[in-house]
């Protein structure tokens, strides 16, 4: 098993949620991809810590 996510170090608004609570109305402000939406730098780190926690502590 594994996971695959598109991500960038840029401050994009292509995926909802995260610590900054990006909403559907925020998407247009920094939606830069022409293909798959990417997690921004903050969302990527959040997800990495969440996955680590799940792997170490179970569900």
CB 36 within 8 A of CB 8: no
pLDDT given at position 48: 94
38 against 58, higher pLDDT: 38
58 against 51, higher pLDDT: 51
Q: Average pLDDT, stretch 17-22? A: 94
CB 5 within 8 A of CB 44: yes
pLDDT given at position 3: 86
pLDDT given at position 22: 96
- Domain boundaries, given as residue ranges, for the chain: 11-59
What is the per-residue pLDDT across 20-52, written as a single tens digit (0 to 9) for each? 999 999 999 999 999 999 999 999 999 999 999
């Amino acid at each position: 098993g594994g996971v695959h996510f598109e991500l960038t170090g840029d401050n994009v608004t292509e995926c909802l949620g995260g610590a900054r609570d990006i909403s559907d109305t925020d998407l247009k402000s920094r939606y830069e991809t022409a293909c798959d939406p990417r997690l921004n730098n903050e969302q990527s780190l959040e997800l990495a810590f969440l996955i680590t926690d799940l792997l170490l502590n179970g569900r």
